[in-house]
Structure 1
Amino acid sequence: MTITVSKIGDTADLLGESPIWDSENKCLYWVDSVNCLIKRYDPKVKQYQSWKTPSQIGCIGLAPNNSLIVSLADGFYALNLESGEINTLMQPIPPNEKVRFNDGKIDRFGNFICGSMGIHAEPLGELYRMNRVGESKKLANGIRISNCIAFSPDGKVMYMADSLDLKIRAYDYGDGNQDLLEPRIFFDTSGLGSGPDGATVDAEGYLWVALISALY
């Protein structure tokens, strides 16, 4: 396998997260979480565009009608890419200022799966699933830093990690509507001296994981 790595642009992000390739429009989205910016790069014309958000960004996902779904610190939002308007989709009740949303993905069935984290890495985070009509359900709790959310090509396995546990979990995910059962440990990263962060699955079913450089 030959892997080519190239840098996009000359401006560094304070915290670059959640890269997503839009295969229909042939452009790349990602976020600078701390700077509260959603960015888009069109490699064909080498053009950048960005949108400002009102709070720190956890992750984004592609959505219909020229929009993105965005997890901000306190909930899920829809960003209209044409107007820049941001509308609330879901906020946990009651709100908790000690928690913010972090990593997430669109599953193979069109649901948005996103987990939160304790601001100071306390086990206060929760994992939510929101379907296409905006109905949400809590799937798990007691999470310190939710990360590594990804899905097998057929959508029947979900990967997820609490980064501070140093273990990637694999859940039987079914049709995207069922509760989560007890997971199996897919991979233990402790032997690598690091914890799992963002992740994705390629077309052949291999899980690619970014490791953090330091542990808390």
Structure 2
Amino acid sequence: MTQLPAKPDSDSFPKKIVEAITGAIARIPSTEMTESPMPAEAARNVARQASLKAAAAAGTLGLPAGPLGWLTILPEMMKVWQIQTQMVADLAGVYGQTASLSREQMTYCLFRHGAAMAVRDLVVRMGERYLVKQVSLQALQVIAKKIGVKITQQALGKALSRWVPVVGAVGVAGYAYYDTAQVAKTAIELFERGIEPPENETRRLGTGTEPPLL
């Protein structure tokens, strides 16, 4: 009789995911991309290449089936986040915003589509532009924990598909492509519209007249 793989430790697995999230947003990667005269086209190329790279990496790590599949879940997510953080840095370069790229922006871009409620207060819309709220490292860690809860639920759900050889890997690759494309969409929208200078944060956020961007 076929048995489903045992779930990872209920305490250590979420903790490791939070640590991985914290690590992903802790450092802003450098980029060789410079401001493009045609940023929309350049951004699409960056997004497409990163999505394909993420799909290939996730698909390869998703090949082990059965109990071994559990062991590749976290490495797969970490690899995809590594590719995505580099993509966001490259997109910032394309739009000439490398110098202003922050951990808050990186967190928002990576997790807005998958954990919107956790990152909703990091960015607010001011007319046609965005204001990125600067928060403490402790606050970012709290946000990472909230994201971790959502990501853990998603990971446990996807893990069952790894029980099926090849088919599971195809599904993992497809999701990584989609996920990376969504990260790119958020980043492009953020950089394309422009970001308010940080010094306006206190005055703007204190009014309470603008709703958080979802």
Same fold (TM over 0.5): no
Please identify the structure whose Cα radius of gyration is greater. 2
Bigger fraction of residues in strand: 1
TM-score (norm 2): 0.24
Which structure is higher in helix share?
Answer: 2
